[in-house]
Amino acid sequence: MSTLPVEQTLDCRGLSCPLPILKTKKTVNSMADGEVLMLLTTDPGSPGDVAAWAKKTGNKVLTSQAEAGVYTFYIKKTLLRGMV
């Protein structure tokens, strides 16, 4: 398991798409720029969903791993610069 400093943890184990992404969006929106969220999911579609969401929103997936059917993502909130 990573030793990254984490401001919040979101446990979405047992939830199916689209709930992990919807809950991630809500949680990240409540965080300050630069804070890190640790997201736990069991949805096998999560790696692709999280990557697509991060690319679309400008947030950064610092690291991810899969172990024993649990996907763990460390997501850094990054405000989109230059957007009005």
Q: In this predicted model, what pLDDT tens digit does every residue of 5-44 receive, in sequence order?
A: 999 999 999 999 999 999 999 999 999 999 999 999 999 9
Inside any domain, residue 83: no
* Domain harbouring 58, CATH code: 3.30.110.40
Residue 82 in any domain: the answer is no
> 49 pLDDT exceeds 90?
yes
**Assigned domain for 55 exists:** yes
Specify if 57 maps to a domain: yes
In a domain, 34, yes or no: yes
Residue 1 lies in a domain: no
12 within domain boundaries:
yes
* CA–CA distance, 41 with 25 (Å, rounded to integer): 14
CA–CA dist 75, 59 (Å, integer)? 7
pTM for the model stands at 0.90
List 17, 61, 62, 66, catalytic entry? 17
Token pair recorded at residue 55: 């690319």
List the one residue out of 10, 5, 70, 22 whose CA is nearest residue 44: 70
**17 catalytically annotated:** yes
Query: For the chain, how many structural domains are there in total?
Result: 1
